[in-house]
Amino acid sequence: TPTATILSNRGCRAQCTFCGVRSFNGKGVRHRTISAVIDELEILQNQFGIKHFMWLDDDLLKDEKRAVLLFNEMVSRKLSLTWDATNGIIAYSCTNEVIHAAVESGCIAVNIGMESGNESMLRRIRKPGTLEKFNETAQVLRRYEQIYSNVLLLIGLPDESMNMIMDTMEVAREMDMDWYRISPLQPLPNTPIYDEMI
């Protein structure tokens, strides 16, 4: 399938201590206009034969109303594209309205960045989410079988115990998503977690 990437905004609202996005994109999120994004998608589809694309956004759903308008505009302009958000989306914004609009516009896969299933570790790494919110997001995503739902998990966080890792595994089982990617922490320079570990 001819595939491309696209960016609708730059930056991320989160302040996760392990992430380098704020180091190279700065603080906050800057949006492109919806019309500019849709125009680019039309060019990719009509001039280059693209059938599928991946959002490169680090915080695609930052503005939930904008996300719904963006997805609805894709439908109204009759774009026949599928897409994924495998760069990751923030669970907090995965409401039924947002995910329904995403599916209507061609969404077939998402990655949810959970990282840890331990509440104290989530607070320590400044992850914008709670166990309750991750489970609510999972409930929403399970309603849409056409979305391949993946959860991103980290192990090896500073002072993480085996019990904390088991908490993560238990929450992952409760979420009952399609797949889980378990990665060891890789401390990136210019991140708070790197400085802490040094």
Q: What is the pLDDT of residues 120-146, one digit of tens each?
A: 999 999 999 899 999 999 999 999 999
> Do β-strands 148-155 and 52-55 pair in parallel, antiparallel, or remain unpaired?
unpaired
127's tokens: 């992850």
Could you give the C-alpha distances from 112 to 50, 163, 164, 167, 173, in angstroms and in order? 25, 22, 19, 17, 14
pLDDT at 168: 96
Confidence of residue 26 (pLDDT cuts 50, 70, 90): confident
- Can you tell me the mean pLDDT for 12-18? 93
Whether the pLDDT of residue 113 is over 90: the answer is yes
> For the whole model, what pTM was predicted?
0.93
Residues 36-68: pLDDT tens digits? 999 999 999 999 999 999 999 999 999 999 999
Q: In a 3-state reduction of DSSP, which class is residue 181?
A: strand
pLDDT at 23: 85
Where do we find the tokens 């977690």? 193
Residues 152-179: pLDDT tens digits? 999 999 999 999 999 999 999 999 999 9
